[in-house]
Amino acid sequence: MNSPHNHQVKINATKINMEYKNQKVGNVNASSTQVTLPFQPLSLVFYHINYFVDMPKEMMKYGVTGKTIQLLHDVGGVFRPGVLTALMGITGAGKTTLLDVLAGRKTGGHTEGTIRIAGYPKKQEIFSRISGYCEQSDIHSPNLTVYESLQFSAWLRLPSNVKSRQRHMFIEEVIDLVELTGLKNSMVGLAGTTGLSAEQRKRLTIAVELVASPSIIFMDEPTTGLDARAAAIVMRTVRKTVDTGRTIVCTIHRPSIEIFEAFDEQ
């Protein structure tokens, strides 16, 4: 779907240069109203990751003398394009911590180790433009419709040279991908009271990240708090997203057999 021959994406250790242009998707008979913003399938490799934070003052009351506490110890792995990877472990194992470290979301503490994107050292200012992060809590403005939520994200995160018509068509494609077409004019509402259901809000969270056309997406427990049917719907959306060639990594806790088998690697 996103062959390197269809667009120009140059990546090196210091910058990524992207040229956005109209493209047909699917076969040569695809509708001229379809547009796909380019992204380059990228691998993420990390090794010898160690993460330290300052020792909490409460711990010192119990005789602990160290100045730091280590939360991640010599962690390594690889995430590949088109592969849905699960980070599994008990509560407190460090799943979300690892995800946050790899995504560059940790502003405190000290990180050691190597992270490479497509073979090049990771540069956070570049990485933030080619990656997305779906938090466990779905935070959306209750006073916007589904379409307006995606439009707001697209205006903020897509390059300024993306034309309005192209942006509109891309948003429509994302809505179709996450199966929210019938709800695009519905108000988001308040969680648990009005508006979208829990699994619909989760799919909206995924869509908000997709409109930025990221190559790599991190998802923190996308099925938490959902019943079996809702979780299956969300995982179907995740599966369709990774099938576009993106790299997707999910933390997951106590999955059902069906959810576990939806992943390519654990």
Closest CA to 107 of 44, 51, 48, 50: 51
The predicted pLDDT at position 43 comes to 93
Closest CA to 9 of 20, 24, 25, 23: 20
Q: Is the pLDDT of residue 23 over 60?
A: no
The predicted pLDDT at position 67 comes to 85
Q: Bigger pLDDT: 36 or 249?
A: 249
Listed range (184-188, 189-193, 202-206) with the worst mean pLDDT: 189-193
The predicted pLDDT at position 227 comes to 86
The predicted pLDDT at position 37 comes to 64
The predicted pLDDT at position 71 comes to 93
Strands 44-54 and 68-79: antiparallel
Domains and CATH numbers, the chain: 4-45+80-261 (3.40.50.300)
The predicted pLDDT at position 36 comes to 60
The predicted pLDDT at position 60 comes to 75
The predicted pLDDT at position 102 comes to 95
Q: Is the pLDDT of residue 34 over 80?
A: no
The predicted pLDDT at position 18 comes to 35
For the chain, percent of residues with pLDDT exceeding 90 = 41
Q: Is the pLDDT of residue 38 over 80?
A: no
> What's the predicted TM-score (pTM) here?
0.80
Q: What is the pLDDT of residues 58-104, one digit of tens each?
A: 877 777 778 888 999 999 999 999 999 999 988 888 999 999 999 99
